[in-house]
Amino acid sequence: MLNISFTNRVAIVTGAGGGLGRTYALELARRGAAVVVNDLGCTYDGQGVSRSMADAVVDEIKMGGGRAVASHDSVTTSTGGKAIVQTALDAFGRVDVLINNAGSLRNAAFDELSDDLIDQMIDVHLKGAFHVTRPAFRAMKEQRYGRIVMTSSAAGMFGNHQQAAYAAAKAGLIGLMN
């Protein structure tokens, strides 16, 4: 079996405090990458803030012999996106991999969607990817190497009951990726 190594690579994973993001961060670290574990520590529906989720993943990586730092910055602002990338540059001197995985899920019937819910889905999923990718891309372009992954969803391709805002944001990621 092919053994893919990320030795001497630096990865940023947004939304890495739990779920798929946590899995990505742990696997990248297991394969040798230094990892920036970015997470606000929100619940699956975007409520609350806690440093404990990102910190726990960092601790797990370090206990396994890996290198990692936490970022508690929000992907929903340009300032937050720049800070996330700067965390990688300050801690490890470069950024080679970015996995845009941050997200939340709030269900509502289409005719009951609030403007606030629509904004929250677009801000974290789609605008969040823009906010982190632009400074990461600049660093990757300067070093002439980098890989960017967008975590989308089947809901973005096919839709899903009570997930119009989520699906629209995830479909936007597909367009951005392309």
166 is catalytic: yes
Alpha carbons 13 and 36: distance in angstroms, whole number: 6
The distance in angstroms from the start CA to the end CA of the chain is 30
Query: What does the radius of gyration of the chain's CA atoms come to, in whole angstroms?
Result: 16
Catalytic pick among 24, 44, 145, 166? 166
Task: Please give the positions annotated as active site.
Answer: 166
